[in-house]
Amino acid sequence: MAKTKSALKYKRIMLKISGEALAGEKKSGIDYDTVHSIAEEIRDVHDMGVEVAVVVGGGNIFRGGRGKNFKIDRVVGDYMGMLATIINAMAFQDVLEQMGVQTRVLSAIEMKELAEPFIRRRAQRHLEKGRVVIFGGGTGNPYFTTDTAAALRAKEIGAEVVLKATKVSGVYDRDPELDKGAKKFDELSYIDVLNKNLKVMDSTAISLCMDNSIPVIVFNMNEKGNIKKAAQGKNIGTIVR
């Protein structure tokens, strides 16, 4: 496919995908059709000439020790969640490479048999060479979400935007799945998100994006072509800036 960089608003993007989204209609685990569908979208954007980095969560496998009756220590639970993100990263890597897309998985936790260690300059070089870079292991630290990992890595690699793929069409004042009268926002400021406690990303992630002027686009990943539309700067979802 011919590359059309002139049609793009963003040349280097950070795509954040929740682990729960990878379960598809299931409650947990990895749904192959869902991963394949998202990978197709990533391939199409990559073929346009966009440099694509991905941070994937692990909630479809393990969310970490946050439940009221969960007896595993929080730190241990968070590390277990980080390992879950590696499993999801490997799934994306395999499906993308079956499609002919060169990829690299970089992990914040050293596991040399499975992934390269995260080194900023190495990640940037992979992107420059046209490889899709998939970041696993979160930030490598407990108490930080994969949303924060996406914001942190976006700044480190020089991504121009964070694309937050969700199950809904943007940011609402109330849960649209519970309240049909929920109002969708087309645009928000970082301060609005923080002050109104809107569930876009956690406050640490939003603050990182605010401090570094990285816009966040929240959109429905189940609508085919949305990742491409976001990279082209088309008006979809909600933009936070």
Q: 132-187, pLDDT tens digit by residue?
A: 999 999 999 999 999 999 999 999 999 999 999 988 888 998 888 778 888 889 99
Number of domains in the chain: 1
The pair of three-digit structure tokens given for residue 192, joined into one six-digit string: 């609005």
CB 133 within 8 A of CB 82: no
Range of the domain at 33: 5-240
- Residue 1, pLDDT > 50, answer no
pLDDT more than 90, % of the chain: 68
Read off the pLDDT of each residue in 36-63 and give the average, rounded to a whole number.
94
What distance in Å separates the CA atoms of residue 64 and residue 181, rounded to the nearest whole number?
A: 33
- Residue 66, pLDDT > 70, answer no
Q: 30-44, pLDDT tens digit by residue?
A: 999 999 999 999 999
What distance in Å separates the CA atoms of residue 207 and residue 173, rounded to the nearest whole number?
A: 20
pTM of the model: 0.92
Q: Which residue has the tokens 């008006």?
A: 235
91: CATH: 3.40.1160.10
- Residue 212, pLDDT > 90, answer yes
- Residue 2, pLDDT > 70, answer no
